[in-house]
Amino acid sequence: MTIPSTFHVTLPTPNTSTEVRPATRGAAVPATHTQQERLIWGRHVHQVNNNIALGLRFDGRLDVALLERSLNLLAERHETLRTVFPEVGGESSEEHVMLLLPPQPRALPVLEAPDEPAETRLPRVLALLAEHANQPFDLAAGPLFRPVLGRVSESLHVLSMTTDHIVFDAWSARIMINDLLTIYASEQGDDVPPLPELPVQFPDFALWQHGHLGDVQLERQLGYWRKQLDGITPIPASGLADPDAPTGAEPGVTKSLEPVGPELSAAVEEFAVRERVTSAVVLAAALKAAMWRLRLETVGEDAAGDVATFGSLANRTRPETDAMVGYVATPATFRTRFTGRTPFGELVRLEAQTLFNAMRHQRIPFSLISRELAPEQYGVRFREPGSVPIYLNFDMDMVEDEREPLLRPTGLDVQPIGIPMPEVPRGGLRVIGYRRKDGIAIELRYRHDLYGRGWATRFLRLIHAFLQHGVDAPDTPIEELAA
């Protein structure tokens, strides 16, 4: 991949519009605020969480040459998959740019394990794909989109598409998979609706963001966060500690899953409907009640009910960005203040308000919030893992059955498959709520060098108990719930 040695950077112009429009621009534009934070503080730091690998399993007659061509057309469609971030100067954020490269056909590497027994060949191929996906990216040289195919047999293949997080977010995953399968089906002659032209590309969004967040708009958005984060840092300490944590263990992740069962899942859904909130809000309230209970032991009663979690907002506030691949999402802090006398139903309403207000103010990226309100935390997420504060990240996954099924090109059955990538939760703790056909499940991912299995089991059971008893008796103060 040839990187130009000189290029002209298109600078943003001030705008007050909330609409993102196609910009008149050259090949280079300023990186977004989130990208600049990474480039300043973590350009050369490889964290396994920076590599995002999507896996697709193909059963049937896969045309490998056609798949290769489809991947090249996918990169041609989405400019962000063809961007790099050249090193052009000092540490000033204005000098960090994204450079768009012209479409260049690339060969699709194929990995296989022909000497592996048939019954273990798929796991072995997945391991090879994971090893390939975990290789560090060179942000300056690229490419930052790295597909590779694993051949298990003539009728079974696994495609791994790895991108660096700097050009990709969770919203982008579905877009990329759908567009690839549509292109493949169309190229082989299937009768599928053509992909519509994209209203805007990610560099257009970057220019709009810089032009829109001028001094007045920035201060208006910052006003909310300045008040919301008064007394805490943007990356909030969880206040959760395990006094019996293992000593000397290497950083790594352990996962524990706690299904709540179909009966309680139905009760949670019914309660959420009555409260006019989502089940994610109800689960978030139970999580914060559990954190309150544990914080009583670590920070004391006065501070226990000032609970903040970390999470991510899609930040796709404009319809023109819906079909665009790129790193648009932004982290956010969700702070809720309550006491042991707060009824569970009231805590749910407080949590709903917390989420609503955060979504209203998500247009300002977290990188600007931390830079303006807590400069000591600016860039800390992208430094070496040991410098990151201990916080809790909460996410909610949507129902698998509510997602549109994947397009099936003629002759193929296509299903998502996980690429077994390593993971180390940056903040030490991550709670994920899943809504599936058989009900809600709560997963805890924790750094096993900071927390032991006994502590993790207790934490999960507390969340489960507050969820169950809170939904059963929403008018009861949380300190009186049997948790």
**Which residues fall within 8 angstroms of residue 132, CB to CB, at 6 or more apart?**
109, 111, 146, 148, 160, 162
DSSP 277: S
Task: Catalogue the E-assigned strands of 96-245.
Answer: 97-100, 110-112, 145-153, 156-164
Cα torsion for 258, 261, 264, 266, to the nearest 10°? 120
Cα dihedral sign, 397-418-332-86: negative
Omega prior to 143 cis, within 30 of 0: yes
Cα dihedral sign, 379-99-331-405: negative
Residue 15 lies in a domain: no
Residue 414, pLDDT > 70, answer: yes
Residue 152 lies in a domain: yes
DSSP run (H or E) holding 30: strand 28-30
CA–CA gap between residue 149 and residue 158 (Å, rounded): 6
- pLDDT class for 92, splitting at 50, 70, 90? very low
**Which residues fall within 8 angstroms of residue 90, CB to CB, at 6 or more apart?**
none
Task: Catalogue the E-assigned strands of 113-197.
Answer: 145-153, 156-164
What CATH number does residue 131 fall under?
3.30.559.10
Residue 5 lies in a domain: no
Q: What is the mean pLDDT of the chain?
A: 93
Kindly write down the DSSP assignment for every residue of 278-301, as one continuous string.
-HHHHHHHHHHHHHHHHHHHHT-H
Side chain identity at 483, as an amino acid letter?
Answer: A
Q: Based on the fold, state whether residues 334 and 455 are members of the same structural domain.
A: yes
Q: Based on the fold, state whether residues 301 and 388 are members of the same structural domain.
A: yes
CA–CA gap between residue 113 and residue 118 (Å, rounded): 10
Pairing of strands 145-153, 156-164: antiparallel
Are 202 and 325 within 8 A, CB to CB?
A: yes
Which of 168, 191, 207 marks a domain boundary? 207
At 83 the three-state DSSP class reads strand
Q: Which residues pair with 433 in a beta bridge?
A: 396, 442
> Which tokens go with 86?
């050249």
Q: Based on the fold, state whether residues 74 and 54 are members of the same structural domain.
A: yes
Give the count of beta carbons closer than 10 Å to the beta carbon of residue 52: 19
Residue 481, pLDDT > 90, answer: yes
pLDDT of residue 46: 87
Instruction: Give the tens place of pLDDT for each residue, 1-13.
Output: 666 767 888 989 8
Are 374 and 149 within 8 A, CB to CB?
A: no
Residue 57 lies in a domain: yes
Domain total of the chain: 2
**Mean per-residue pLDDT, 46-75:** 96
pLDDT of residue 401: 46
Kindly write down the DSSP assignment for every residue of 373-441, as one continuous string.
H-GGGTTGGGS-GGGS--EEEEEEEPPGGGSPPPP--TTEEEEE---------TTEEEEEEEEETTEEE
Residue 410 lies in a domain: no
pLDDT of residue 255: 94
At 311 the three-state DSSP class reads strand
Phi and psi angles of residue 23, each rounded to the nearest 5 degrees, phi first: -105, 150
Q: Based on the fold, state whether residues 379 and 267 are members of the same structural domain.
A: yes
**Mean per-residue pLDDT, 115-137:** 96
Residue 4 lies in a domain: no
DSSP run (H or E) holding 259: strand 253-259
Q: Based on the fold, state whether residues 248 and 197 are members of the same structural domain.
A: no
Residue 158, pLDDT > 70, answer: yes
Q: Based on the fold, state whether residues 362 and 277 are members of the same structural domain.
A: yes
CA–CA gap between residue 319 and residue 232 (Å, rounded): 34
CA–CA gap between residue 468 and residue 374 (Å, rounded): 38
Q: Based on the fold, state whether residues 55 and 182 are members of the same structural domain.
A: yes
Q: Which of 123-127, 398-402, 438-442 has the lowest mean pLDDT?
A: 398-402
Instruction: Give the tens place of pLDDT for each residue, 296-334.
Output: 999 999 999 999 999 999 999 999 999 999 999 999 999
Instruction: Give the tens place of pLDDT for each residue, 240-276.
Output: 999 999 888 888 889 999 999 999 999 999 999 999 9
pLDDT of residue 276: 97
Task: State how far Cα 473 lies from the chain centre.
Answer: 34
Strand ranges across the sheet with 428-436: 253-259, 439-447, 428-436, 391-397, 306-313, 330-337
CA–CA gap between residue 69 and residue 75 (Å, rounded): 10
Backbone torsion region of residue 142, taken as left when φ is above 0, otherwise alpha when ψ lies between -120 and 50, otherwise beta: left
> Please, how many CA atoms are within 13 Å of residue 27, restricted to the half-sphere of its CB?
16
Give the count of beta carbons closer than 10 Å to the beta carbon of residue 42: 19
Which of 207, 222, 242 marks a domain boundary? 207
Q: Based on the fold, state whether residues 279 and 427 are members of the same structural domain.
A: yes
Residue 213, pLDDT > 70, answer: yes
Are 465 and 344 within 8 A, CB to CB?
A: no
Q: Based on the fold, state whether residues 98 and 232 are members of the same structural domain.
A: no
Q: Based on the fold, state whether residues 141 and 239 are members of the same structural domain.
A: no
Residue 10 lies in a domain: no
**Mean per-residue pLDDT, 42-64:** 94
Are 369 and 266 within 8 A, CB to CB?
A: no
> Which tokens go with 247?
């000593």
Residue 1 lies in a domain: no
What CATH number does residue 282 fall under?
3.30.559.30
Q: Based on the fold, state whether residues 259 and 392 are members of the same structural domain.
A: yes
Q: Based on the fold, state whether residues 363 and 264 are members of the same structural domain.
A: yes
Pairing of strands 110-112, 145-153: parallel
Which of 179, 207, 235 marks a domain boundary? 207
**Domain assignment of residue 55, given as a range:** 28-207
